Chains A and B, each alone.
Chain A
Amino acid sequence: MLYKRTKFFDFNYRKFIGSWAWILHRLSGLALIFYLTLHIWIINTLTRGSEPFNEVMTFLGSPLFKFLEVGLWGVILYHAFNGIRVVIIDFAKGSLFHKKLFFILTTIAFILWVAGSVVILTHIH
């Protein structure tokens, strides 16, 4: 009887930069799917006229959602910039310098995240 030890994921395998990039890409992807579902559901309230829509929009204007928006902006940036990294890896020999690519692209994403967050947080209606 052979024993199957790795059921789905070997959690105690060491994680290198490539593994972290991939794990974060998957998680941010899931977060984006969740956001898009929510987004479509909210837009859907428009089909019942402007009143329900405005109600939801005032609810979403609360400070809690401001912070969630900052998080969303970060998730979008990471997913987009790591996506660019994956394209460079597959089509432009990026495997040879993938760790540098990760640091360069996440740094750009981080700068954009800080800049965007300032705009989001200072724009209170």
Chain B
Amino acid sequence: MDEQTNVKVKILRYNPEKDKKPFWQPYEVKIEPDATILDILNEIRWKLDGTLAFRRSCRSAICGSCAMKVNGRNILACETPMHRFKGRGLKIEPLPGFRIIKDLVVDLDSFFEKMNRVRPYLLLDKPIPDKEFIQSPEEFEEIREVCICILCGACTSSCPSVWSNEEYLGPAALLKAYRFIFDSRDDAADERIDIVNDKNGIWRCHTIFNCMEACPKHIKITEYLSRLKVKAVENSI
């Protein structure tokens, strides 16, 4: 077993039944140097303070539950080793831009409601084929990278346009719109463009790139949103 080190962690706590405002609570954790942020949170919850609330599930960067803000940037707790923030101590906060339910747990209802607004499923005019939908590798390449989004909310939560306007669809929902608009099997591109081409839609993207910096799957979100903008312009000519 590796030698354990002491880590100073500050976590933003908030219990709606007791606290008026969130406050910083310091912890000191003894843990292996290659531990992830999630390991540290588990260590605190299991051994030091059972009242700490946070979401986690798969601990392998695929469920998208444990997105949170650590030392000023959104990350997935399970895939981020603590040595990435070497020597600075850790400050762990819930995702910005969302309302806090308790401690690191935020209310993602608005996030999924926005996702539903772009109708994230295939809409067809043609009859459903007997066997499967045929899509060529070239056609799939258009949407391949976008399909790996795990809906963690790190991008939408990092976007200054979302912070100042809760109605803005945000990068994740717009990326989902891209995923279906550019899907060769889908027939409702025009309808989705109309939803996206709105004052709270694609035009609130000011190419700040926070979403791309935050995405744990390294999706080039801004590039896809730019393609959506071009598509929206083409459609309105």
Do B101 and A95 touch across chains, with their CB atoms under 8 A apart? no
Tell whether A98 is near chain B: CB-to-CB under 8 Å.
Answer: yes
Report if A3-B163 is in contact (Cβ < 8 Å); known contacts: A22-B207, A86-B207, A95-B223: no
Tell whether A90 is near chain B: CB-to-CB under 8 Å.
Answer: yes
Do A89 and B94 touch across chains, with their CB atoms under 8 A apart? no
A15-73 residues with Cβ-Cβ distance < 8 A to B are: 16-19, 21-22
Would you give the 0/1 interface string for A94-120, flagging 1 where the beta carbon is closer than 8 Å to chain B?
111010000000000000000000000
Report if A90-B229 is in contact (Cβ < 8 Å); known contacts: A13-B73, A95-B212: yes
Tell whether A4 is near chain B: CB-to-CB under 8 Å.
Answer: yes
How many Å lie between the Cα of A90 and that of B97 in the bound state? 25
A104 nearest CB across to chain B (Å): 16
Do B96 and A90 touch across chains, with their CB atoms under 8 A apart? no
Q: Which of B22, B71, B97, B207 has the most A CB atoms < 10 Å from its CB?
A: B207
Size range of the interface on B?
A: 20 to 34
Would you give the 0/1 interface string for B185-199, flagging 1 where the beta carbon is closer than 8 Å to chain A?
000000000000000
Do A13 and B72 touch across chains, with their CB atoms under 8 A apart? yes
Do B94 and A9 touch across chains, with their CB atoms under 8 A apart? no
Tell whether A14 is near chain B: CB-to-CB under 8 Å.
Answer: yes
Tally of chain A residues near chain B (CB < 8 A): 27
Q: Point out the residue from B73, B164, B207 that lies within 8 Å of A14, measured CB to CB.
A: B73
Tell whether B222 is near chain A: CB-to-CB under 8 Å.
Answer: yes
Do A18 and B210 touch across chains, with their CB atoms under 8 A apart? yes
CB-defined contacts of B58 to chain A, threshold 8 Å: none
Tell whether B158 is near chain A: CB-to-CB under 8 Å.
Answer: yes
Do B207 and A2 touch across chains, with their CB atoms under 8 A apart? no
Report if A13-B158 is in contact (Cβ < 8 Å); known contacts: A3-B100, A89-B207, A90-B230: yes
Q: Point out the residue from A2, A6, A10, A95 that lies within 8 Å of B16, measured CB to CB.
A: A2
Tell whether B144 is near chain A: CB-to-CB under 8 Å.
Answer: no
Do A95 and B96 touch across chains, with their CB atoms under 8 A apart? no
